[in-house]
Structure 1
Amino acid sequence: MSAIAKRSLSTKLLLLTIVFVFVAEFVVLVPSIAKQRRDWFNLRFEEAYLASLALEGPREAAADETLVRRLFNTANILGVTINSDDMRMLILAPEINPHGAPDIVTVDLTSENWFDLIANAWGTMLSSGDHLIQATGAPQFAPSQTVDIIVSQGALRDDLLSYARNIFLLSLIISTLTASFVYWALNRIIVWPVKRLTANIMAFDADPENAQGILTPSGRSDEIGAAEESLAAMEKSVRGLLGERRRLAALGAGISKISHDLRNVLASAQLMSDRLAKSDDPSVRKLAPRLISALDRAIGLSRDTLTYGRMETRMLEKSPIVLHELVEEVFEDTAAMGVTAQNNTPEDLTLIADRTQLYRTLFNLVRNAIEAMTGAANDEDKDDLGKVSIDVDIDGRDILITIADTGPGLPDHAKEELFEPFKGSQKPGGSGLGVAISAEIARAHGGSLTLHKSDEEGAAFRLRLPQDD
């Protein structure tokens, strides 16, 4: 049963409703017991006062004293004294046990506040024994007089217990009915719709590409209706994205295979083009460099496509890296005639990153810079193509690596899709994957790659790498 209560929202709702209703009934019961005690005393004050008036009448009209005593006994009144104008009149003397003076508790209802009424009422109801209570009160029709009565504590306690039992039974009936109605209403309005949402989420999770599994909103205008609308929209979006992902995965697999085969074909063609460059025919030798350049661009495109297609989300193998040494390695692998490489990184700076991925990022950016400057250079400028520099700044716990060149910069229209694969390239035959791959690697490190500057003096990319504690 406890396991059901922990898992079932309906069971929790029912139990909480019953508990809250019982708490409300108990709050009502506490002052009700005090009111019942006060009414019990007031009724006896009135009876005692009216009986005293009957005994004070003319002898021929006076009530029979035996009858009055019987009335007092019926009301559990053991003694009565009337106080008026500094005069006390004993109406009924209590029968005292001759073997010992009884314990008498004095109560003055004319001076009790609500706190005293509640405390004394519950004290009497929870008491034991049968002591005497001497209570003082004012009758309703003679506010200038007071009446002292002596009653049995046991009789008062029995009356309060009987009243509390009746109130409890009534509260039980009311709480059961109220809990049932509240439970039914909340279950119908909240729990059932939530169960419907839960069942739909589980079914959609099991088969997200099934169009029948998309939730149909009920049209409610409250928060649950808004949740249904949002869930249905999200499921449609997820289903569309999954379908697109499946198609792109199939397309990517096909392109990867084609690129792999094409690269092999182009490599064979490149070998044959080298032979053509040694031909005795001047026309063939003149066309050979252009053919070789075209083949190089095609091979580069195939290589970049395969690299991007194989990129997968994986755990980075981070380790301490001496940045200056890594930059030197990148410059050695991207050495080109006429391009000046300037490593401005401190020789003692160590950062935490995946060495292989960081090398790929720097290599792509430096290579792009060299190609941009080479493509923009004139024939007379072949001996001085420009400069590529790498600098480092510290921003809090982030390391900022800036890769700058002295090339022509990027046109405005190229900046919008710079980090989009197959869109950002500005050179003929380029794939635009170098910057896209570098940006993916930066995001995998929790950092970013941005275009820091681009004007007629050159372009600069900034790589931000956060450092763990």
Structure 2
Amino acid sequence: MRSVRARAAIGATLVVAVALVAAGLAVLAVLRTNLIDQADLQAEVAAREVAGQLALDTRYEDLDLDDEEDHPVQVTDEEGRVVFVSKGLQAVSGTRSPGVSPVPSAPAATPSPGDDDDDDDGGDSARPARGEVSSDDPDFSDGTATVGGRQADYRFAAVEATTPAGLTLTVHAGAPLAAEQEAVDTVRGAMLTGLPLLLAVVAAVTWLVTRRALRPVEGIRRELAAITASEDLARRVPEPGSRDEIAALARTTNETLTVLEASVERQRRFVADASHELRSPIASLRTQLEVADAHPELLDLPGAVADTVRLQVLAADLLLLARLDAGEKPGAARLEAGALVREEVSQRTGDRIPVAVEAAEGASYEVNGSRGQLARVIGNLLDNAQRHAESLVAVRVAADGSGVRVEVRDDGAGVPEEERERIFERFVRLDDARSRDDGGAGLGLAIARDVAARHGGTLTVHRAPEGGAAFRLWLPGAV
């Protein structure tokens, strides 16, 4: 099932159905229990009333029975023989004995001493003899009884009574279960009738609410489909005015589109700038080769070599940027930053200004990363300093919090504060009048910052004490 609305409606309906069925069964169980408890009480009262009369030695034929149809009575002796049944009782089950006819051998009740005449001396009349009724909780059982030709279900209570003559009798009195059954059937019928209607209402409401809630999602989907078809990343999906998850989804989608648009624009600009930067040395090299072909004596071999080197460096820079953009992870080798700086400086024999290295002797500044990429960062920073310095280029390595700081300073003109972020963009050169040969392609600082970020560090520019620029590379310490 592909529709979220349908799945939500079915899921909600099933949950409500299970809850209602469980609640309905619980209600029916409680109702049945309460009604049976009431029937037990009625049966117990009827049984104890008869047992009380037997304890007073009342003869069977003189027993006063209330509503014999609703409360049928059966009395048995110690041996389970039926000695008395209420009027109209034609059949019974669920009691001690299924019999409904008193046995002929059943002992009759003895005359009550209370029936004797008063004493001749005119004293008080003699008190009647008394038996006793068991105070234990009665035994209850389910059964049926046929009274006046009609059979029904009853709840029977069994109470023991002892006559003054010492005979133990068991009185079974019943209470009808018709009211209980009718009430349970009525409630069950109401539930069976109302449950489907209620579930239909739940399903319809869930469908409508889900449809209304997902309406903005459909708008977002349509707009995204239109953006995909038109490839116009400047468009944005509609953001609902609510503050729910769908509104958050729309905002996140628009933020993603903004980042994607910027990334695509950056890639387009990168390709255009790379093409422009490659065009100059290629055109120059082609011109020199064509001139050399026609006039070998005019070949500018140093210029051709310089253009070839420039092409090689530019190609290497573009390849490294492509790898960084692809998410290439740096190595995790353990490096000593001071030794890496000294090694890089020692290989720069053609610098016009000697580089001063400031690092405490014997101190260890270990970091994790790629030796080649970090050496490239330091080299790019030194190249930049050499282009702008007047008479000083210095590198300082020191501990900085939980990491290591490598600072490259010069005494040149510095970087204006408003341009300190722009210089890290690709193909950006602040001095437009500077020749490409002197100023480079504008990729060195962009590569340096990207490599620093890939290593979990930062690269920023500040004003040096000497008045020029101070580039600060911070890298986390080795772990």
TM-score using structure 2 length: 0.58
How far, CA to CA, are the matches of 1:258 and 1:27 in structure 2? 81
Kindly provide the CA deviation profile for residues 68-110 of structure 1, in whole angstroms up to 9, marking residues without a partner as x.
85x63432353xxxxxxxxxxxxxxx522653497899569xx
User: Which amino acid in the other structure matches residue 259 of structure 1?
Assistant: E
The SS at the match of 2:399 is: strand
How far, CA to CA, are the matches of 1:454 and 1:395 in structure 2? 21
1:400 to 394, 399, 404: 404
Which residue number corresponds to residue 185 of structure 1? 205
Residue 467 of structure 1: how far off its partner (Å): 5.5
1:176 to 157, 173, 196: 196
User: Which amino acid in the other structure matches residue 414 of structure 1?
Assistant: E
Which residue number corresponds to residue 320 of structure 1? 334
The SS at the match of 1:74 is: coil
- What runs of 5+ residues in structure 2 fail to find an aligned partner? 51-60, 82-94, 97-133, 144-153, 161-170, 291-302
Which residue number corresponds to residue 167 of structure 1? 187
Kindly provide the CA deviation profile for residues 416-441 of structure 1, in whole angstroms up to 9, marking residues without a partner as x.
53433345746853455322221111
How far, CA to CA, are the matches of 2:255 and 2:34 in structure 1? 64
How far, CA to CA, are the matches of 1:124 and 1:192 in structure 2? 56
The SS at the match of 1:410 is: coil
User: Which amino acid in the other structure matches residue 184 of structure 1?
Assistant: A
User: Which amino acid in the other structure matches residue 417 of structure 2?
Assistant: D
2:384 to 360, 363, 368: 368
Change (3 A) 1:133 1:182: farther
Kindly provide the CA deviation profile for residues 30-86 of structure 1, in whole angstroms up to 9, marking residues without a partner as x.
5434443455467779999999xxxxxxxxxxxx989x85x63432353xxxxxxxx
User: Which amino acid in the other structure matches residue 424 of structure 2?
Assistant: F
Which residue number corresponds to residue 373 of structure 2? 357
Taking the TM superposition and a 5 Å limit, the aligned residue runs for 1:319-468 are 319-335=333-349, 336-342=351-357, 344=359, 349-373=365-389, 377=390, 385-393=391-399, 395-396=401-402, 399-408=403-412, 409-423=414-428, 425=430, 428-429=433-434, 430=439, 432-451=442-461, 454-466=464-476
1:95 to 75, 79, 83: 75
How far, CA to CA, are the matches of 2:68 and 2:469 in structure 1? 111
How far, CA to CA, are the matches of 1:244 and 1:349 in structure 2? 37
Percent sequence identity is 16
Change (3 A) 1:124 1:151: same
Change (3 A) 1:216 1:240: closer
The SS at the match of 1:316 is: coil
How far, CA to CA, are the matches of 1:65 and 1:324 in structure 2? 121
| Higher deviation after alignment, 230-239 or 434-443 | 230-239
The SS at the match of 1:261 is: helix
User: Which amino acid in the other structure matches residue 338 of structure 1?
Assistant: I
Residue 353 of structure 1: how far off its partner (Å): 0.6
Residue 442 of structure 1: how far off its partner (Å): 1.7
Q: Determine if contact 2:220/2:237 at 8 Å carries over to the other structure.
A: no
Change (3 A) 1:401 1:217: closer
Kindly provide the CA deviation profile for residues 367-408 of structure 1, in whole angstroms up to 9, marking residues without a partner as x.
2223221xxx2xxxxxxx124123131534xx2222132424
How far, CA to CA, are the matches of 1:132 and 1:46 in structure 2? 9
User: Which amino acid in the other structure matches residue 342 of structure 1?
Assistant: V
Change (3 A) 1:404 1:309: closer
How far, CA to CA, are the matches of 1:218 and 1:44 in structure 2? 71
Q: Which has the larger radius of gyration?
A: 2
How far, CA to CA, are the matches of 2:368 and 2:239 in structure 1? 53
How far, CA to CA, are the matches of 2:11 and 2:201 in structure 1? 15
How far, CA to CA, are the matches of 2:340 and 2:432 in structure 1? 27
The SS at the match of 2:395 is: strand
Change (3 A) 1:464 1:26: farther
Residue 185 of structure 1: how far off its partner (Å): 0.6
Change (3 A) 1:181 1:98: same
Which residue number corresponds to residue 287 of structure 1? none
How far, CA to CA, are the matches of 2:278 and 2:197 in structure 1? 75
How far, CA to CA, are the matches of 2:374 and 2:222 in structure 1? 41
User: Which amino acid in the other structure matches residue 426 of structure 2?
Assistant: P
How far, CA to CA, are the matches of 1:270 and 1:386 in structure 2? 37
Which residue number corresponds to residue 11 of structure 1? 10
| Higher deviation after alignment, 325-334 or 262-271 | 262-271
Q: Determine if contact 1:320/1:353 at 8 Å carries over to the other structure.
A: yes
Q: Determine if contact 1:410/1:455 at 8 Å carries over to the other structure.
A: no
The SS at the match of 1:314 is: coil
The SS at the match of 2:24 is: helix
How far, CA to CA, are the matches of 1:205 and 1:468 in structure 2? 47
Which residue number corresponds to residue 102 of structure 2? none
Q: Determine if contact 1:266/1:299 at 8 Å carries over to the other structure.
A: no
RMSD, matched Cα: 5.5
Aligned length: 374
How far, CA to CA, are the matches of 1:243 and 1:209 in structure 2? 15
Change (3 A) 1:321 1:202: farther
Change (3 A) 1:317 1:211: closer
How far, CA to CA, are the matches of 1:195 and 1:151 in structure 2? 68
How far, CA to CA, are the matches of 1:205 and 1:327 in structure 2? 52
Which one scores higher on RCO, CA 8 angstroms, separation ≥ 6?
2
